[in-house]
Amino acid sequence: MQYKLTLDYTLAPGWMRPYVDGLKTGQALARHCTACKETSFPPMRVCRCGDTQLDWVVLSGRAQVLFRTEGIDGAFALVQFDGADTRSVVSLDRFMPNTHHGHLAPSTGDVPRLCLHPITEAEPT
Amino acid sequence: MVPMACVFGQSLEFISESLKMSRHDAIITGAALTPYNRRKDGTGFRDWSTDAFFDALAMAEIAVSDIDALFVASESDFFSMQLNPASVLATELGMTGVSATRCEGGGASGQLAVHAAVNAVRSGSARHVAVIGVDPSASSLSGDAVRALYGFSFDVWTDGFTGATSSALYALSYQAFAQPYGTTDDDLTRITLQTRSHAQKNPGAHLPLDSTAQDIANSPMIASPYRRLHCSPLSDGAAALIISGQAYLPQTRRSAPRVGGIGAATDHMHLGARPAPGDFVAKSVSMQRACAQAGITSDAIGLAEIYDPYAGAALQGLVALGLSDDPARDLRSGVFGPMGRCPVNLSGGLMGQGAPVGATGVGQTATMAMLLEGRYHPDLQPHTLPRYGVADTHGGLCTTAAVTILERGAGA
């Protein structure tokens, strides 16, 4: 038997709204812990130290690729954003194998996406 | 940063002492699995659940009316198009009136259901408990649809909407593991060939492939370094257990294995928030908790069913469970082969036997129970039974982990 179900969700980001809105314009909004000074991106509601007093801060959006994978679903990487103490999983757009740095791109479409565009200028040594 | 041991809370001494105070031993009196495969015979999840349940019940030598509680593991309503499957199965199996609960924890759903059942028996609130794990992961939706759903097993607002698939996240975590442990593509090939060779002797396995290293190298790249033959399939199927209190153990089931210890834990949802993204910390903590209950250390384990959705995850699991500090060396020297010190995934694992998600953890524990009682498939059954075996399951990228240690029964 064939049965088709179509679902249209309305989802609210809740406390993550600044992060989600930031991605629309390519801004990396992170959370900075006032207790241990650690900055998380993607943002964490509760810091890894256990503290809940965190402020929103804006990162430059520049990131270094640590590990990358490619296959049938596209290219993805574990990256370190400048100014963040945690790392992030991002999709890579138009990255060459020898490109190791990128910049957060504005999300396309309706959903928030962590996508990195390559930085083409000479990379720092 | 707070040390991980504090984040995870409870001291192992507390776990051990609290168990001594309330010990009602839980015994695996019944265990059964249906074949795992892609069903094309017109049967559905109710049929598979029924088959597994009544086989397990027959092994336990008790009646349906002896069951006090039912725990059902099913990962997603999207697979079965059935919310509240526990009450549906209670009716299907003729046990309307029992306490029926559905357990869900991603890929760990089955093992978490086992834990819920063990706790029900240990608390004294149930004499005999049935556990059923089931999912139609292969036949009800397209592979692309299932892959999209699995992407939402992670944080939807970060990884999910970014499009990061399960394969991509596992591949990144494995690379972070391979760097310090020095494992190579040859090791991925070695563990894949070993696991699939076991599946060839398991008549219920989904992928009993006679693959070669060249076949693996020639298979399509899914998420580097993982090729298709490094990955587990999507499967249909069910598994069932009957867990009984020691006081209610049938005289004829004295050889049934005892649950020595259970342990579960969680890790940071985001891979990037983990200090060492290649380490399965939640699995290590789960194992420590289970060992504390059992009163053993991991070197007492002589059989293991490890959660291996990808070849590298098996290597990561061996380290996390404390079964190896150099998985490449131990794999090459045969420690985890059928004749080794601790045979791993004699069932064929997820990669060879298959992965109907909700059934997986239940099936791993059922397999371990049959192995420790000498009742497993003849070509895979070890002649010498170890005292302890572990069934290891996790959900997400080892975000939720659950392990169960079984101890061989006195008469086995």
Let me know: does A20 contact A10? Beta carbons within 8 Å: no
Let me know: does B247 contact B363? Beta carbons within 8 Å: no
Asked if pLDDT for residue B18 goes beyond 60, the answer is no
Q: Locate the chain A residue with the closest alpha carbon to B156.
A: A112
Q: In A5-27, which positions are buried (b, 16+ CB within 10 angstroms) versus exposed (e)?
A: eeeeeeeeeeebebbbebbeeeb
Please state, for a pLDDT cut of 70, what percent of chain A lies above it: 96
Q: How far apart are CA B297 and CA A89, in angstroms?
A: 35
**How far is A7 from chain B, CA to nearest CA, in Å?**
11
Structure tokens at B248: 């209610």
Q: How far apart are CA A110 and CA B175, in angstroms?
A: 32
Let me know: does B320 contact B362? Beta carbons within 8 Å: no
* Contact flag B2-A5 (C-beta cutoff 8 Å): no
Q: Which residues pair with A71 in a beta bridge?
A: A74, B223
For residues B10-17, give the mean pLDDT: 53
Residue B17 backbone phi and psi in degrees, to 5:
-70, -40
Q: How far apart are CA B107 and CA B116, in angstroms?
A: 16
In one-letter notation, the amino acid at residue B319 is V
Q: How far apart are CA B298 and CA B317, in angstroms?
A: 13
* Contact flag B223-A87 (C-beta cutoff 8 Å): no
Q: Which residues pair with B317 in a beta bridge?
A: none
pLDDT tens track for A111-123: 999 999 999 765 5
Q: Which residues pair with B400 in a beta bridge?
A: B266, B395
Could you say which residues from 6 to 45 on chain B have a Cβ atom under 8 Å away from some Cβ of chain A?
A: 7
Q: How far apart are CA B403 and CA B111, in angstroms?
A: 7
pLDDT tens track for B239-258: 999 999 999 999 999 999 99
Q: Under CATH, domain B4-140+234-407 is a member of which superfamily?
A: Thiolase/Chalcone synthase (3.40.47.10)
Q: How confident is the model at residue B8 (pLDDT cuts 50, 70, 90)?
A: very low
Q: Does A40 touch chain B (CB under 8 A)?
A: yes
Q: Could you tell me which residues come within 8 angstroms of residue B259 by beta carbon, excluding any fewer than 6 positions away?
A: B25, B26, B27, B28, B118, B243, B404, B405, B406, B407
Place of tokens 């997400």: B396
Q: How far apart are CA A88 and CA B159, in angstroms?
A: 9
Per-domain residue ranges for chain B?
A: 4-140+234-407
Contact list in A for residue B396 (CB cut-off 8 A) is none
Report which listed range, A44-48, B153-157, B161-165, is most confident: A44-48
CA dihedral over B278, B282, B283, B289, signed as positive or negative? positive
Q: How far apart are CA A75 and CA A117, in angstroms?
A: 12
Let me know: does B28 contact B246? Beta carbons within 8 Å: no
Mean of the per-residue pLDDT values of chain A: 94
Q: How confident is the model at residue B335 (pLDDT cuts 50, 70, 90)?
A: very high
Structure tokens at B228: 């298709």
Let me know: does B108 contact B395? Beta carbons within 8 Å: yes
Output the CA torsion B273→B278→B283→B287 (10° steps).
-130
pLDDT tens track for B231-242: 999 999 999 999
Sort strands A39-40 and B400-407 into parallel, antiparallel or unpaired: unpaired
Q: Locate the chain A residue with the closest alpha carbon to B267.
A: A48
Mean of the per-residue pLDDT values of chain B: 93
Q: Could you tell me which residues come within 8 angstroms of residue B78 by beta carbon, excluding any fewer than 6 positions away?
A: B141, B149
Asked if pLDDT for residue B49 goes beyond 70, the answer is yes
Contact list in B for residue A22 (CB cut-off 8 A) is none
Structure tokens at A108: 């396309």
Task: Compare CB distances from B272 to A73, A74, A87 and report the shortest one's residue.
Answer: A87
Q: How confident is the model at residue B151 (pLDDT cuts 50, 70, 90)?
A: confident
Please state, for a pLDDT cut of 90, what percent of chain B lies above it: 90
Question: Residue A64 has what pLDDT?
Answer: 98
Q: How confident is the model at residue A45 (pLDDT cuts 50, 70, 90)?
A: very high
Q: How confident is the model at residue A125 (pLDDT cuts 50, 70, 90)?
A: very low
**How far is A124 from chain B, CA to nearest CA, in Å?**
24
pLDDT tens track for B218-228: 999 999 999 99
Question: Residue B63 has what pLDDT?
Answer: 97
Identify each DSSP E strand in B292-342 by its residue range.
301-305
Let me know: does B242 contact B391? Beta carbons within 8 Å: no
Q: In B192-204, which positions are buried (b, 16+ CB within 10 angstroms) versus exposed (e)?
A: bbbbbbbbbbbeb
Q: Could you tell me which residues come within 8 angstroms of residue B387 by beta carbon, excluding any fewer than 6 positions away?
A: B300, B302, B407, B408
Question: Residue A124 has what pLDDT?
Answer: 52
Contact list in B for residue A67 (CB cut-off 8 A) is 172, 175-176
Q: Locate the chain A residue with the closest alpha carbon to B151.
A: A73
Per-domain residue ranges for chain A?
A: 15-118
In one-letter notation, the amino acid at residue B101 is T
* Contact flag A16-B157 (C-beta cutoff 8 Å): yes
In a mutational test of the B interface, the residue from A52, A76, A93 whose CB has the highest number of chain B CBs within 10 Å is A76
Q: How far apart are CA B305 and CA A21, in angstroms?
A: 44
Contact list in A for residue B171 (CB cut-off 8 A) is 69, 71
Question: Residue B4 has what pLDDT?
Answer: 41
pLDDT tens track for B261-299: 999 999 999 999 999 999 999 999 999 999 999 999 999
Place of tokens 């019940």: B57
* Contact flag A77-B172 (C-beta cutoff 8 Å): yes
Helix axes B281-294, B12-21, angle to 10 degrees: 40
Report which listed range, B3-12, B158-167, B268-277, is most confident: B268-277
* Contact flag A72-B272 (C-beta cutoff 8 Å): no
Could you say which residues from 50 to 109 on chain A have a Cβ atom under 8 Å away from some Cβ of chain B?
A: 50, 66-74, 76-78, 86-91
**Pick from B240, B180, B188: nearest CA to B213:** B188
Structure tokens at B29: 């009196």
Residue B240 backbone phi and psi in degrees, to 5:
-145, 150
Question: Residue B411 has what pLDDT?
Answer: 77
Structure tokens at B15: 């776990």
Q: How confident is the model at residue B2 (pLDDT cuts 50, 70, 90)?
A: very low
Contact list in A for residue B1 (CB cut-off 8 A) is 36, 38, 48-49
Please state, for a pLDDT cut of 70, what percent of chain B lies above it: 94
* Contact flag A69-B171 (C-beta cutoff 8 Å): yes
Q: How confident is the model at residue A109 (pLDDT cuts 50, 70, 90)?
A: confident
Q: Does A35 touch chain B (CB under 8 A)?
A: no
Q: Could you tell me which residues come within 8 angstroms of residue B53 by beta carbon, excluding any fewer than 6 positions away?
A: B32, B89, B93, B130, B132, B240
Let me know: does A52 contact A89? Beta carbons within 8 Å: no
Contact list in B for residue A69 (CB cut-off 8 A) is 168, 171-172, 175, 223-226
**How far is B159 from chain A, CA to nearest CA, in Å?**
7
Contact list in A for residue B147 (CB cut-off 8 A) is 73
Let me know: does B107 contact B99? Beta carbons within 8 Å: no
Q: Among B11-20, B204-213, B378-387, B397-406, where is mean pLDDT lowest? A: B11-20
Cα distances (Å, whole numbers) of residue A88 to A45, B156, B169: 16, 14, 11
Q: Locate the chain B residue with the closest alpha carbon to A111.
A: B161
Residue A119 CB neighbour total at 10 angstroms:
15
